[in-house]
Amino acid sequence: MNWQKRTKQWERECVKTRRYLWLRRRRLKMFQISPNNKVLDLGCGDGLNIKLLNQMGISKVFGVDISSYLLKIAQKNNPQTKFYLASAKKLPFKNGYFDVILIDSTFYHFFDDPKSLIEIRRVLKKGGKLNFIEAHKSFLRKLIDKFTLSSFANYLPFFKGRQFAYMAEKISLARWLEKEETFLKSLWKYGFKKIFLKRDLLSIIGSYQRT
């Protein structure tokens, strides 16, 4: 399979996996985003979080992603939202434009790229919040990942899809899981102060304030 086909298939699997709405809602609520806040969903994928935020009364939300395929779905699901095809490296917004930046399961793609971190800080206003939800090296995750990679996974459609998505991202995900703690400790260097950091069975949920 060539890389374009693989990317397309990964994007499709991205839309199919991680669909637990109750869990997403619960995590989003932890950030206590105000309805007046201007929010950027960075790496918004198919815009599921934007839909949930709108349902929670938070409607000033913008979406950015590098996948035009996923953005098309996002736009269809959220006709009233403005979406931008862009990378975290170069965001098409003025300095201090947002009160909140939300990053859900996307940080692991660019957490070790200083350009992206500087750009995130630039578009956040002083006192604004960087909220993120990322994979965490928990016992349950290790167990699920082990099963996902086993031959049994081939017989279960959910795990088969997850296996593909996992394989395509294995390197960046492994790099994140290995450097997660060091990275979080280094966020102050980029001008972010910790508000809270919580771990659940699968993920780490963080909220940092732009100084």
Ligand X SMILES: C[S@@+](CC[C@H](N)C(=O)[O-])C[C@H]1O[C@@H](n2cnc3c(N)ncnc32)[C@H](O)[C@@H]1O
Distance of CA 85 to the CA centre of its chain: 15
Spatial CA neighbour of 27 closest among 178, 159, 202, 158:
202
Interaction between residue 119 and ligand X (CB under 6 A)? no
Q: CB under 6 A: which stretch of 59-67, 93-101, 143-151, 190-198 binds ligand X? A: 59-67
Q: Does 121 bind ligand X (CB under 6 A)?
A: no
- Toward ligand X, which CB reaches closer, 65 or 180? 65
Whose tokens are 């995130």? That residue is: 120
Q: Does 162 bind ligand X (CB under 6 A)?
A: no
Extended beta strands in 105-200, E state: 124-135, 192-199
**Smallest Cα–Cα separation from 105: which of 48, 38, 35?**
48
**3-state class (DSSP) for residue 24:** helix
Tell me: does residue 206 bind ligand X (CB under 6 A). no
> Does 195 sit near ligand X (CB under 6 A)?
no
Residues in a beta bridge with 204: 134, 199
For 61, other C-beta atoms within 10 Å of its C-beta total 26
Does residue 110 touch ligand X according to CB under 6 A? yes
Q: Which is nearer to ligand X, 155 or 171 (CB)?
A: 171
What's the closest the beta carbon of residue 88 comes to ligand X, in angstroms? 4
Position of tokens 């966020």? 187
Q: Does 27 bind ligand X (CB under 6 A)?
A: no
If one asks whether residue 204 binds ligand X (CB under 6 A), the answer comes out as: no
Which positions touch ligand X (CB under 6 A)? 14, 18, 43-45, 48-49, 64-67, 70, 87-88, 104-106, 109-110
